[in-house]
Amino acid sequence: MDCDRRWPRRMLFLSFCIVLLFQTAVMEAAVLPPANREEAEKYFGSAYGKYCERDYFGALGDLDRALKLNTFLVDYYLMQGLVLHRIGRTDDALKSLRYFLEVRPMDVAVPRVLARFEEEGRFLGDVLSGRPVFSRAASALRDLKVSLGLPVLQNLGIKGLGKAESSPSGRLAVADVLGDRLWVRNRGERAFSGIEIEAPVTALFQGETGGIVLLENGTVLSLGESGKELTELGKLPFSPSDGTMASESAFIAVSASQRRSAIFSLPDLALVSELAIPETEHPFEPVAAAAFGEWLAVADRNNGAVSLVSLREKRTVFSFEADSPRDLAWSALGDLFVVHENGAVTKTTISFDSMEAVRSETVIREAPGAWSLFSIEDRVYCLDVAGFSLWEVYLFPEDSSPAFLSLDTPSVRREEDRESFLLGASVSGPYRTYMSKNRPVVTSVWNERMLTADFRFLARKSPEGAVFFLPPGRRIGGQSHEAATGKEVFLILSEWWTENRKKLNDIVVAASIPFSQGELRQLAGFCLQNGIRLFAFCDTFSPLPLLRASGLTGGGALYSLGGDLPGYSSSHRGEVRIPLPSDETSSGFPSRSVLSVYMDVGSASSRDWMPLWPDLL
């Protein structure tokens, strides 16, 4: 009986204790440790200023301090997402933006930012993975003198054209086999210089200075530092029909007459390896070769085919049909151009992840006398057999394709009794020639109001020296750094950028430095977001992702550390001007005060966002 009476009392007491504990917990949760709001806002403002000045790594440090001082500072995650995107950490940027939207699901601007970052990330992932990037081609027939700006009275007088070859800088060599002359035009020169050589087949450039010349009898000559001094290096075991550089210390030569293709070392011309070609219906007749990083394309005229050879495995991986191919050239992202005996030029899109030719199309149907292909920047040229005319081909997006726009250094300027936003801008992407031929259409949204805007390219200043990342033991002085991994490259780059960001235009990375897919994606994203060209120094066969990332940013393959890098043909830096309405003021950081800028250049679309507070500019 007593136990039965005590039980309800105990339950009542326990219930009272639970309620008391719950109320205490609620009160303690409601009174969190006080946030240092003033200090947090100071660091947040500092982070914003550094972000505007492109000091992204410094901005991340200040944002971390701001959050520790005030855990309720949700706007931190929006700013963090924008900063992380600028340094190529797209996945981390997406996480920050998604967290921001969890707290502020009604925000207007951030869903658009998130969608754009996801689109850019998918595109960059496709490029680096080797998946095909579909494009269309536009072509035009031009007079050689007009197109290359040659003197009116200069006439090459080609008697028997061999191969025309170019370098990333725009150096150009035209071999006249029957005329016993090699025509060379170096960077900065207007006219070609003729060098008398017996039956030159082709010239292979290693850099701004130097290169080799393959002669019909198998002799190999060095062009020397001046590009004109000839020194005999030795003789190949066969008569070459074409050749291509493969790395700093190796080149490939093919012979149609001896039906061979092989890798040779430089400068000793030692035979490194014969390249295995599968048995064919007719005798193998390699008339042309072109390397794209670790992949070699060989044109077999007798079998009407082009073979893709792995230089690392020294074997043919697959082939595709090509009617009587005569010469080959790669685009910046790995489209293969073929000139045929019938005077047509085709473009074949290669899928490097599934290793197949997924599409082939004719880009020039009637090119009488078309003979040799070469590429300069993102354009491919076909030279006629007489050396009088050439066809210019450039690529443009098949559908809508992302370009990369990055805004920075915002300011407010009073012009004609009204204020305007002025923002610096970097524009990057794979279709530079196409974009240079179209007028940008720019619109902007700020404070939920659409504003007029215009964009103009700025005059290009003299480029600063490139920053080199080389494997241990290869440092060349100046702005060169030793790095054993991709992670080390970015650690060094982040420190260097903070102090020298206004001087950085070009980055050169050795092909032998191993990168994970994520590390290379970060480096490529960093370059695209800051208008920096990435070059692959081929101290070994360049991995495909590195070479494709280089082409995407406007860079390419380098086979020598000597000489200057190619100059910009057109500026990638510009200025966006947005006249402000007189009745608008800033509404604070979130949503409405994020400036959205949309710039379309034909089918190449670019987007960027910049938080703007006029009273802080």
**Which DSSP string do the residues of 60-98 spell out, in sequence order?**
HHHHHHHHHH-TT-THHHHHHHHHHHHTT-HHHHHHHHH
- Judged by DSSP in three states, 505 sits in coil
Chain mean position to CA 7? 78
Residue 484 included in any domain = yes
- The three-class DSSP label of residue 280 is coil
pLDDT band at 592 (very low <50, low <70, confident <90, very high): low
Contact criterion met (CB below 8 Å) for 600 and 399: no
Residue with the larger pLDDT of the pair 35 and 607: 607
Token pair for residue 189?
A: 């020169």
Q: Is residue 26 part of a domain?
A: no
Other CB atoms within 10 A of residue 335 CB:
22
Q: What is the CATH number of the domain that holds 90?
A: 1.25.40.10
- 507 and 446 share one domain: no
- Give the residue with greater pLDDT, 584 vs 300: 300
Domain match, 160 and 238 both? yes
Angle subtended at Cα 491 by Cα 471 and Cα 555, rounded to the nearest 5 degrees: 65
State pLDDT tens for residues 25-72: 333 444 444 567 788 888 988 999 999 999 999 999 999 998 888 877
| Inside any domain, residue 337 | yes
Instruction: Check whether residue 201 and residue 282 sit in a common domain.
Output: yes
Q: Are 139 and 370 in contact (CB under 8 A)?
A: no
Q: What is the predicted pLDDT for the residue at 235?
A: 96
Domain range spanning residue 93?
A: 37-106
Q: pLDDT grade, residue 614 (50/70/90)?
A: low
What is the pLDDT at residue 527? Answer: 94
Both 455 and 465 in one domain: the answer is no
Between CA 194 and CA 213 the distance in angstroms is 14
pLDDT band at 511 (very low <50, low <70, confident <90, very high): very high
CATH number for the domain harbouring residue 526:
3.40.50
pLDDT band at 388 (very low <50, low <70, confident <90, very high): confident
616 — pLDDT class (breaks 50, 70, 90): low
Are residues 222 and 149 part of one domain?
A: yes
The reported pLDDT for the residue numbered 30 is: 42
Does residue 254 lie within any of the structural domains?
yes
Average pLDDT over residues 257-261: 94
Residue 262 lies in a domain: yes
User: Are residue 298 and residue 382 in the same domain, yes or no?
Assistant: yes
Q: Is the pLDDT of residue 20 over 90?
A: no
| Residue among 589, 616, 594 at smallest CA distance from 449 | 594
Find the range with the poorest average confidence among 197-211, 352-366, 461-475, 563-577: 563-577
- Give dist(CA 571, CA 555) in Å, integer: 14
Could you tell me the end-to-end alpha-carbon distance of the chain, in angstroms, rounded to an integer? 81
Which residues, including other chains, have CB under 8 Å from residue 275's CB and lie 6 or more apart?
Answer: 252, 261, 262, 263, 296, 298, 309, 314, 315, 316
Do 378 and 438 belong to one domain? Answer: no
440 part of a folded domain: yes
Residues 6+ apart with CB under 8 A from 101: 107, 110, 111, 114
Angle at 164 between CA 159 and CA 168, to 5 degrees: 155
**What is the rounded CA–CA span in Å between residue 259 and residue 107?**
66
* Mean pLDDT value across the chain: 86
Average pLDDT for residues 301-314, to the nearest whole number? 94
CA 124 to chain centre: 9
Q: Domain holding 588: CATH number?
A: 2.60.40
User: Rounded distance, CA 82 to CA 61, Å?
Assistant: 14
Q: Is the pLDDT of residue 229 over 80?
A: no
Angle between helix 517-529 and helix 486-500 axes, rounded to 10 deg: 20
In a domain, 130, yes or no: no
18 in the Ramachandran plot: left (φ > 0), alpha (ψ -120 to 50) or beta? alpha
Q: Are residues 179 and 308 in the same domain?
A: yes
Domain co-membership, 286 together with 317: yes
Domain boundary among 343, 376, 397: 397
Q: Quick count: other Cβ atoms within 10 Å of Cβ 189? A: 13
Measuring CA to CA, which residue among 34, 31, 63 is closest to residue 46?
63
Instruction: State how beta strands 557-558 and 573-579 pair.
Output: unpaired
Pair 96, 580: CB distance under 8 Å: no
Give the pLDDT confidence score for residue 225 in this predicted structure. Answer: 65
Do 575 and 551 sit in the same domain of this protein? no
Q: How many domains does the chain have?
A: 4
pLDDT band at 13 (very low <50, low <70, confident <90, very high): very low
Does 259 share its domain with 350? yes
Residue 113 placed within a domain: no
Of the pLDDT bands very low, low, confident and very high (cuts 50, 70, 90), residue 92 is: very high
Can you say whether residue 35 is alpha, beta or left, with left for phi > 0 and alpha for psi between -120 and 50 degrees? beta
426 with 391, same domain: the answer is no
